[in-house]
């Protein structure tokens, strides 16, 4: 969970975490299963990779 929040806070992408939680129907990161946390972390890494090369994932968050 810590790595997810570090990425979100570093890039101003907290809304990506909120959106993911909403799609899973849970209010808190601690309510996610391990596979869901792994999925979210992979997504956050994907957003970072896309931002670093100036590309965009189809659901990428804007760079701040």
Please determine, for residue 57, whether its predicted confidence score (pLDDT) is greater than 70.
Answer: no
Cβ pair 42, 4 in contact under 8 A? no
- Per the structure, how many domains does the chain have? 1
Give the helix/strand (H/E) hosting 49.
helix 34-53
CA distance linking residue 49 with residue 57, whole number of Å? 9
Per the domain annotation, does 37 fall within a domain?
yes
Per the domain annotation, does 64 fall within a domain?
no
Burial track 40-54 (b if 16+ CB lie within 10 A, e otherwise): beebbeebbebbeee
Per the domain annotation, does 38 fall within a domain?
yes
Query: What is the predicted pLDDT for the residue at 51?
Result: 84
Its pTM stands at 0.80
Query: What is the predicted pLDDT for the residue at 39?
Result: 97
Model confidence over 2-55: pLDDT tens digits? 999 999 999 999 999 999 999 999 999 999 999 999 999 999 999 998 888 876
The range of the structural domain enclosing residue 45 comes to: 2-53
Band the pLDDT of 64: cuts 50, 70, 90: low
Look at residues 9, 16, 29 and name the one whose alpha carbon lies nearest to residue 57. Answer: 16
Per the domain annotation, does 31 fall within a domain?
yes
- Looking at per-residue pLDDT, the higher value among 25 and 59 belongs to 25
């Amino acid at each position: 969970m810590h790595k997810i929040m570090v990425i979100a806070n570093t890039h101003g992408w907290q809304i990506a975490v909120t959106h993911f939680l909403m799609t899973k129907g849970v209010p808190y990161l601690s309510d996610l299963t391990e596979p869901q946390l792994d999925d979210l972390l992979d997504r956050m890494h994907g957003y970072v990779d896309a931002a670093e090369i100036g590309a965009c994932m189809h659901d990428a968050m804007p760079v701040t």
